[in-house]
Amino acid sequence: MLSMLTAMLFFTRLLLGGAVLATVGCSGAHESQRADAEAPLPIPSATDRDAAAAVPDATADAAGEPPAAHKPTINVIGVEGLDPSAPTARNDSFETAALVEPGVGAHQDVVRYQQTNFFYFDAGEAGFFELSTNDREYTADVVISLYDAERRLIGENDSGSLWPRDSFDARLVARVPRPGRYYAKVSDLTTPADLFGRAGSQLLYYHLDVRPVNSSTPGFGVAAATGETLVQFSLDETTGYSFITLLGTLETNATRSFAFEGLPAHALIGHLLPAGIPGGGSTAPAGRVRVLNTAARVLGELDGRRAETQLYPPLSMGRTVVTVEAPDSVGENGFFAIDLVMLPENPAEQMEAANGQLAGAEPILLKGAPTARGLLLSDVPPGDVDYYSFSALEGTRVAVSCEGQSAGSGVRALHADIRDASDQSLAVCTESPTHELDLVTWQAPSAGTYYLRLASDPQVGPEAAEPWVRCVLFVR
């Protein structure tokens, strides 16, 4: 898995590239994500999509007590401690697999093209495990595959990041269905062959961590068999991000519920980890996943059966509930895993009563240079229209990215277009149900004030989530 920062560079490549784009593109998919890459956190609300953001101030955990910090056991080796002349263990088959002790981990040098290594661990009972490798300057980009005692592949993943610039490369969250021996295969399939002929190439390495996960493991919440499970987010001291991974088994006609305290003016950045292979190996996808506020209003929802994975609703202070419904059939090892991170939210709309027409457009505050960036969080209920204004010089390039339905909002067919002072549309784009709206790249024909207009289709079901829209505007 490449660093999550790769996804965040999407708009930098568009806006800072040497070629001037003469036409407007409305992408059908997020262009920064390869088919084999993680569904990342395309979080325009809280991180710099142009890769220039400062880390936000540390956030206190809403429950009051300082939560356990995220301290993965990956700092046991530094490149200054490597011995280039030391032989590399040839644990390159099931028969020669090396022991990796849960909670201790295993260090592995990478010295060969497309190197694959095998490790094993023993599970005393059925339950959840997290397998991960670290992301450091000299670590290889690897894939983790999990096998049972009969050497059957039960899970595989190349992705791992919970947020940009975190410590994970590959990460696999899986439930082993029974006690016994399990194997982890770690493969470096991306390092170029010619790198291994260069001086210093022997410094490539990774550290494999394997740890059992239960309800007392910091950074995880495991659903109880019945009732509501109270969970507490952990705090990453380096970034100030509050995070947790929710886990639970899937049982037909059962709903798992988690409750926690939300933070005011924050976004809940959620990602449903994939079932099957590739993925954690669950024999069923999660059904409907919902986030509800203290008044039981639905803030956001997704349906894992339709391959929906992103859930980014805005939060406020107070009790927040996440519910996970099971599908009709769960198989022999149905379970779910959801990564959640709380990050500071975009500035909220302030002029809802007036910005329904161009004359009352709400200004977008642009910050930064040479690429200025403006963030907004808007309420766009059925049939609503919102105008926002911004200034641009002649030849300035503008890009807009918005998320609504694609991130779990109740908005349907979000339309965003750039308009001039006579309210004529100059560029337009519509969000799809599964991919955020990307309007790239429009060029201002002359200096002046321009307008971003947001609107949505009026058809919204009676149980639809709140109709929020989160956008980021880039001007260069």
pLDDT in tens, 80-95: 344 444 445 589 999 9
Question: What DSSP string runs through 59-117?
Answer: PPPTTSSPPPB---S--S--GGG--TTSPPP---SSTTPEE-BTTTBEEEE--STT-EE
Domains of the chain with CATH codes: 5-39+347-475 (2.60.120.380), 79-213 (2.60.120.380), 220-344 (2.60.120.380)
At 463, the pLDDT band (50, 70, 90 cuts) reads low
pLDDT tens by residue, 321-364: 999 999 999 999 999 999 999 999 999 999 988 999 999 999 99
Kindly list the distances between the CA atom of residue 37 and the CA atoms of 168, 325, 402, 440, in Å, as whole numbers in the listed order: 14, 27, 21, 22
What's the token pair of residue 40? 């990342």
H-helix or E-strand spanning residue 315:
strand 314-315
What's the pLDDT score for residue 189? 94
Q: How far is CA 310 from CA 108, 290, 403, 404, in A?
A: 34, 11, 10, 10
Mean residue pLDDT across the chain = 82
Q: DSSP assignment of 343-382, as one string?
A: EEPPPBP--TTTTTSGGGPEEPPPB-SSSEEEEEEEE--T
**Res 459: pLDDT:** 57
Q: What mean pLDDT do residues 4-17 have?
A: 28
Specify the pTM. Answer: 0.81
CB atoms within 10 A of CB 315: 23
Distance CA 196, CA 208 (A): 21
User: Has residue 286 got a pLDDT over 50?
Assistant: yes
Q: What is the pLDDT of residue 457?
A: 83
Residue 320: is its pLDDT beyond 90? yes
Residue 164 has pLDDT above 90, yes or no: no
Other Cβ atoms within 10 Å of 92 Cβ, number: 15
Query: Which of these ranges, 2-6, 130-134, 154-158, has the smallest mean pLDDT?
Result: 2-6
Q: What is the DSSP string of 394-419?
A: TT-EEEEEEESGGGT-S--S-EEEEE
